[in-house]
Amino acid sequence: MAPSIATEVGRFRLGYVADPVVGHESYRGMLAIPYLRWAPGGKWSVISLRFRCITPDCKHEYHGKYNTLPGDRPRMYNTIALAQNDDTIGICEGEIDAITATACGIPSVGIPGVEAWAKHFREPFLGYEKVFIFADNDDNGQGKSFAKKLASDLPNALVVPAMEGEDVNSMVVKHGKSALTERVA
């Protein structure tokens, strides 16, 4: 029996900031997204954290929708997907979309924002037969711009746009796992 999406999501070790340490009070009430690496001795190591505001109807006046620890640099999320022995891999804009795609059976990494793609990120993807670039289909066109930028860098890229007005996560939440898996079939 295949694991449920909820079971799959659990392995990403997401957290909730209820009682932050001194100096990190601004992250109270946010979703904590750990960037995990497999460490020597067979244990997980958290190398970075990002935080997502989950307050309903938040206007993000005093913080962004996503927040990074001061001094941290953009990095790829869920790089453990690169170590799987698949011929294909996905790239999403953001951690939540990468989690959703991976939970739907398409191992994917997340790039934390449209402008965060770095030239050195391309190398790990060159050995794949296909790299699915999951493009947000948002009103402002940033998702398509993100996908176009990555596709120009990767000769093995296939752009997979989300449904109108959706990203990977919202599409799967509204329409089910097949809304994503059928787009790559």
pLDDT per residue as tens digits for the range 129-164: 999 999 999 877 788 889 999 999 999 999 999 999
Residue 32 has phi, psi (to 5 degrees) of -95, 125
Per-domain boundaries in the chain: 5-68, 79-184
Of the chain, the percentage scoring pLDDT greater than 70 comes to 96
The CATH code of the domain at 79-184 is 3.40.1360.10
Q: What is the mean pLDDT of residues 82-105?
A: 92
pLDDT given at position 86 = 82
Least confident of 85-94, 114-123, 133-142: 133-142
Q: What is the pLDDT of residue 1?
A: 44
> 167-185 burial string, b = 16+ CB within 10 Å, else e?
bbbbbbeeeeeebbeebbe
First to last CA, the chain: 21
Distance, in Å, from the CA atom of 60 to the CA atom of 67, rounded to the nearest integer, reads: 11
Structure confidence at residue 3 as a pLDDT band (50, 70, 90) = low
Highest mean pLDDT among 85-89, 113-117, 142-146, 171-175: 171-175
The answer to whether the beta carbons of residues 181 and 104 sit under 8 Å apart is: yes
